[in-house]
C-alpha cells in the first residue's frame, strides 16, 4: 500500500511539474528575450543529463576510452545526419568495438 | 494523404528509432523492480501513473532499500525536476491550442517528446504541432507501457556484460547534437555538462539541475548582450 501511495504522489507531482507552466503561462505573451533564452533549455538539460548518466551517485565519473569514443562518434553522426538510427548504431558499434579491443 | 495524416504519421515514425535505445532502460526497470522486491504488477503501475523512466527507477529502488516514503518521493521528484524547464519552454506552443490539449499534453512531456517537439519544423503551426506532439507522445507512451511490462520478465535474465544501458547516454547525446545550431548553444551545453560533473557528488543528482540552470543563465546572458 505504501508503495502504491508513493507512486500516486510522485505521479501527481510529475504531472504538475510538466503541466504547471503550461497551465499558468499558455494565455500570456512571452517577451522576446525570454523566448530566445528558452532555446538554451534543451542543450543545457541534455548536456547535464548525459553527464549525470556517466557519473555514479557517489560522484565518480565512469568514462573510459570506449564510452568517450562511442559518445564522440554518436555526436558527430547526429550533427551530420540528424538520423537517430544511424547515430545509435554507430555509437554502440564503436563502443562495443573498443570494449572488445581494450 | 491529408496534411493532418502526414504529421500524425511523421510523429509515429520519428519515435521508433528513438525508442530502440530505451529498450535496455525498460529492462533496467524490470531489474530494479525485481531487486526492490516489489510485486511486478504494482511496480508496473508506476508506468501509467508516472510515465517517467529515471523517476520510476529512483522511486522503486529507494522504497526497496527501505527509504521512507517522503524521502523516496522527494528524491524521485528532484530527479524529474527538469520537467519544470520543459513546461516553461513548451508553454508558448500551447498558447493557441484547445483547452483539452493543455491538460493532456503535459502527461506525455518526457525528455524525448520535448526534444522532438521543440525541434519539429512546423512547430509554429498550432494544428501541425498538436498532431505531431500527440502522435509522438502517445506512441512513446504505448511502447513504454509494453516494454516495461516485458522488462519485468526479461530484465532479470539479460547478461550485464553487454552493457546495453550505454545506449541511453548515446540517445541523449544524439538528441543534443542534432538539436544544436549555434556556437552559443554548444557553450551552454559544455558549461551545463562541466558543472554537473563537478557537482556529481551532491545528493539526489541535484548537480544536474544546478548545471542545467547555470547553462541556461549563460544562454540568457548571450541573448541579453547580443548586438
Segment B138-158 mean pLDDT: 92
A7 and B46: CB-CB below 8 Å?
yes
pLDDT at residue B190 tops 80? yes
- pLDDT at B91 > cutoff 90: yes
Please check whether residue B94 touches A, CB under 8 A: yes
* Average model confidence (pLDDT) across chain A: 89
Residues of B in contact with A33 (CB under 8 A): 220, 223-224
Long-range contacts of B193-202, Cβ-Cβ distance < 8 Å, separation of 24 or more: B193/A47, B193/A48, B193/A50, B193/A51, B194/A51, B195/A48, B196/A47, B196/A48, B196/A51, B196/A52, B196/A55, B197/A51, B197/A55, B197/A61, B200/A51, B200/A52, B200/A55, B200/A56, B200/A59, B200/A60, B200/A61, B201/A58, B201/A59, B202/A59
Q: What is residue B27's predicted lDDT score, i.e. its pLDDT?
A: 84
Question: d(Cα B110, Cα B71) in Å, to the nearest integer?
Answer: 23
Residue A31 DSSP code: P
CA distance B175 to A49: 11
pLDDT of residue B175: 81
CA gyration radius, chain A: 19
How much of chain B exceeds pLDDT 90, in percent? Answer: 56
**Rounded CA gap, B200 and A56, in Å?**
8
Are the beta carbons of B21 and A95 closer than 8 angstroms?
no
pTM, two decimals, is 0.80
Contact A48 B211 (CB under 8 A): yes
**C-alpha radius of gyration, chain B, whole number:** 19
> Which is it for the CA torsion B199, B170, A14, B116, positive or negative?
positive
Binning pLDDT at 50, 70 and 90, where does residue B227 land? low
CB pairs under 8 A between A and B: 286
Q: Do B200 and A71 touch (CB under 8 A)?
A: no
**Would you tell me how many other CB atoms lie within 10 Å of the CB of residue A31?**
9
* pLDDT tens, position by position, B213-223: 999 999 999 99
B178/A79 touch (CB, cutoff 8 Å), yes or no? yes
> For residue B74, what pLDDT is reported?
84
* B85 Cβ under 8 Å from any chain A Cβ: yes
- ipTM, two decimals, is 0.85
Amino acid at each position: 500500500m505504501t508503495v502504491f501511495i508513493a507512486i500516486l504522489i510522485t505521479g501527481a507531482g510529475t504531472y504538475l511539474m510538466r503541466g504547471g507552466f503550461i497551465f499558468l503561462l499558455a494565455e500570456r505573451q512571452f517577451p522576446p528575450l525570454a523566448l530566445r533564452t528558452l532555446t538554451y533549455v534543451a542543450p543545457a538539460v541534455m548536456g547535464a543529463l548525459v553527464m549525470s548518466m556517466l557519473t555514479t551517485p557517489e560522484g565518480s565519473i565512469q568514462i573510459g576510452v570506449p564510452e568517450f569514443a562511442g559518445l564522440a562518434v554518436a555526436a558527430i553522426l547526429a550533427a551530420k545526419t540528424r538520423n537517430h538510427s544511424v547515430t545509435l548504431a554507430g555509437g554502440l558499434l564503436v563502443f562495443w568495438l573498443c570494449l572488445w579491443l581494450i | 494523404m491529408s496534411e493532418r495524416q502526414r504529421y500524425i504519421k511523421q510523429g509515429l515514425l520519428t519515435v521508433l528509432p528513438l525508442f530502440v535505445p530505451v529498450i535496455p532502460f525498460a529492462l533496467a526497470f524490470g531489474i530494479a523492480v525485481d531487486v526492490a522486491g516489489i510485486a511486478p504488477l504494482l511496480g508496473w503501475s508506476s508506468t501509467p501513473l508516472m510515465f517517467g523512466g529515471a523517476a520510476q527507477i529512483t522511486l522503486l529502488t529507494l522504497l526497496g532499500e527501505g527509504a521512507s516514503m517522503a524521502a523516496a518521493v522527494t528524491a524521485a521528484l528532484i530527479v524529474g525536476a527538469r520537467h519544470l524547464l520543459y513546461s516553461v519552454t513548451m508553454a508558448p506552443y500551447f498558447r493557441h491550442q484547445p483547452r483539452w490539449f493543455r491538460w493532456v499534453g503535459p502527461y506525455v512531456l518526457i525528455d524525448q517528446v520535448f526534444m522532438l517537439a521543440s525541434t519539429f519544423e512546423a512547430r509554429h503551426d498550432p494544428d501541425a504541432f498538436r498532431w505531431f506532439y500527440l502522435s509522438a507522445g502517445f506512441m512513446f507512451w504505448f511502447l513504454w507501457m509494453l516494454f516495461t511490462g516485458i522488462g519485468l520478465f526479461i530484465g532479470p535474465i539479460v547478461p550485464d556484460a553487454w552493457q546495453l544501458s550505454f545506449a541511453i547516454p548515446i540517445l541523449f547525446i544524439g538528441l543534443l547534437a542534432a538539436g544544436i545550431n549555434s556556437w552559443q548553444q554548444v557553450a551552454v551545453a559544455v558549461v551545463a555538462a562541466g558543472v554537473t560533473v563537478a557537482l556529481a557528488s551532491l545528493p539526489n543528482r541535484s548537480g544536474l539541475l544546478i548545471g542545467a540552470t547555470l547553462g541556461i543563465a549563460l544562454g540568457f546572458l548571450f541573448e541579453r548582450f547580443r548586438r
